[in-house]
Amino acid sequence: MLKIEAHVELAPLTTLGVGGQARHFVRVEHATELEDALAWAKQRALEVRVLGGGSNIVVADSGFSGLVIEMGLRGIRFQNLGTEVEVRAGAGEPWDEFVAGMVARGYQGLECLSGIPGRVGATPIQNVGAYGQEVSETIRQVWAIDTIRGTLRTFSAEECQFSYRDSWFKSREPGRYIVTEVSFRLRPQASPTLRYAELQRRFLELGNAAPTLSELREVVLQLRREKSMLLDASDANARSCGSFFVNPVLSTQQFQQFLQRAEGLGDPPQFPQADGRVKLSAAWLIERAGFARGTRDGHVGLSSKHALALVAHAGARAEDVARFAARIRLGVLERFGVALEPEPVFWGGSQPTLA
Considering only CA atoms, which of 180, 214, 184, 212 is closest in space to residue 69? 180
pLDDT score of 184: 98
Active site residue 343: yes
Taking only the tens place, the pLDDT of each residue in 131-158 is 999 999 999 999 999 999 889 999 999 9
Q: What's the mean per-residue pLDDT of the chain?
A: 95
pLDDT score of 350: 62
Active site residue 243: yes
7-13 mean pLDDT: 97
Considering only CA atoms, which of 84, 85, 67, 68 is closest in space to residue 76? 85
289-309 mean pLDDT: 96
Match domain 76-226 to its CATH number in 3.30.465.10, 3.90.550.10, 3.40.718.10, 3.40.1180.10.
Answer: 3.30.465.10
Give the amino acid at 254.
Q
Which 3 state secondary structure label does DSSP give 258?
A: helix
Taking only the tens place, the pLDDT of each residue in 108-125 is 999 999 999 999 999 999
pLDDT score of 353: 64
Say how far apart CA 70 and CA 4 lie, in whole Å. 11
168-179 mean pLDDT: 93
**Whole-prediction pTM:** 0.91
329-339 mean pLDDT: 97
DSSP 57-79: EEE-TT-EEEEEEEE----EEEE
**Max alpha carbon distance in the chain (Å)?**
64
Catalytic, out of 119, 165, 224, 329: 165
Domain boundaries, the chain: 5-71, 76-226, 245-346
Identify the H or E element spanning 49: strand 48-51
Q: What is the 3-state secondary structure (H, E, C) of 85-130?
A: EEEEEECCCEHHHHHHHHHHCCEECCHHHCCCCCEHHHCCCCCCEE
Q: CATH number of the domain at 5-71, please?
A: 3.30.43.10
Catalytic, out of 55, 114, 240, 243: 243
Active site residue 165: yes
What fold does the segment set 245-346 form as a domain?
3.90.78
Question: DSSP assignment, residue 163?
Answer: B
Taking only the tens place, the pLDDT of each residue in 37-88 is 999 999 999 999 999 999 999 999 999 999 999 999 999 999 999 999 999 9
